[in-house]
Amino acid sequence: MTIPQPQGFLAVPPTGKGPGVLVLHAWWGLNATIKAFCTRLAEAGFVAFAPDLYHGKVADTIPDAEALGQALDASHVQAKAEIANAVMFLNERSDPSDRGLAVIGFSLGAYYALDLAAADSEHIRSVVIFYGTGGGDFSHSQAAYLGHFAGNDEYEPRSNVDDLEEALRLAGRPVTFHHYSGTGHWFFEPDRPQAYNQAAASLAWDRTLAFLKRSPTS
């Protein structure tokens, strides 16, 4: 049975096929920045899909984003079900020769990306997180992990990042975390001019692309 496209943004390469990448948005919602990121992934040869976990709502101020994020956390069971459905949809749209999907999470989305990789080891083989962490049991994960973190982040303490890295290593997962000095939260997002760092964002993109194009972990 074909899975209908969930609410969200789909970007497909010119060839019409490629490895699948699920993109989980930050607390701002499915905004133009996330859509542009998906389009960029498609131009690089990936089938990218970003589910709209806010169902059409987008925030531009921190108070509005906090409110939307808290509402999502309150209905996290439904959010995880929607993400699982997005995985099934993307799995159908991706190149069947690929051995698994990748998931990329930004800030709030990083928590859900980590949770997904732990819960759905059958499908998720690569995880990229931007300035966000999460806990959980990673013992069943089959994924490799890449992380991009700000050097000075008031929203994500270094201790959280170090704890996550240790947990992943203890679970036997390949993990590489990068810390970008002189940056703060949202340094990758060009619509956050107070935080955007072009040099760091460019380096993080290059590292992400190289990571995604490597052979999936077995």
- Mapping DSSP onto H, E and C, the string for the chain reads CCCCCCCEEEECCCCCCCCEEEEECCCCCCCHHHHHHHHHHHHCCCEEEEECCCCCCCCCCHHHHHHHHHHHHHCHHHHHHHHHHHHHHHHHHCCCCCCCEEEEEECHHHHHHHHHHHHCCCCEEEEEEECCCCCCCCCCCCCEEEEEEECCCCCCCHHHHHHHHHHHHHCCCCEEEEEECCCCCCCCCCCCCCCCCHHHHHHHHHHHHHHHHCCCCC
- Each residue's pLDDT tens digit, 38-65: 999 999 999 999 999 999 999 999 999 9
Cβ neighbours around 63 below 10 Å, total? 8
- Is 79 a residue whose pLDDT tops 70? yes
What's the pLDDT band for 4 if we cut at 50, 70, 90? confident
Evaluate whether 198 touches 206 at the Cβ level (below 8 Å). Answer: no
- Is 216 a residue whose pLDDT tops 60? no
Residue 218 in any domain: the answer is no
CA 18 and chain centroid, separation = 18
Tell me, what's the pLDDT at 100? 86
Question: What percent of the chain clears pLDDT 70, i.e. is strictly above it?
Answer: 96
Domain that holds residue 88: 8-213
Whole-prediction pTM: 0.95
What's the pLDDT band for 80 if we cut at 50, 70, 90? very high
- Each residue's pLDDT tens digit, 133-156: 998 899 999 999 999 999 999 999
Residue 157 in any domain: the answer is yes
- Is 200 a residue whose pLDDT tops 50? yes
**CATH number, position 115:** 3.40.50.1820
**In the block, which residue shows the tokens 């999907």?**
101
Structural domains counted in the chain: 1
| Spatial separation of the C-alpha atoms in residues 151 and 139, rounded to whole Å | 29
Q: Give 28's Cβ-side CA count (13 Å radius).
A: 17
Look up residue 148 and give its two tokens: 């991009």
What's the pLDDT band for 214 if we cut at 50, 70, 90? confident
- Is 97 a residue whose pLDDT tops 90? no
- Is 98 a residue whose pLDDT tops 60? no
Tell me, what's the pLDDT at 218? 39
- Is 171 a residue whose pLDDT tops 80? yes
| Spatial separation of the C-alpha atoms in residues 176 and 169, rounded to whole Å | 10
Evaluate whether 50 touches 40 at the Cβ level (below 8 Å). Answer: no
Dihedral sign computed on CA atoms, order 53, 58, 62, 66: negative
Tell me, what's the pLDDT at 217? 45
Residue 123 in any domain: the answer is yes
Residue 151 in any domain: the answer is yes
Question: What percent of the chain clears pLDDT 90, i.e. is strictly above it?
Answer: 88
Tell me, what's the pLDDT at 185? 96
In our burial notation (b when 16+ CB lie closer than 10 A, e otherwise), range 170-209 reads ebebebebeebeebbbbbbbeebeebbbeebbeebbeebe
What's the pLDDT band for 114 if we cut at 50, 70, 90? very high
Tell me, what's the pLDDT at 139? 93
Residue 74 in any domain: the answer is yes
Residue 3 in any domain: the answer is no
Residue 91 in any domain: the answer is yes
Residue 147 in any domain: the answer is yes
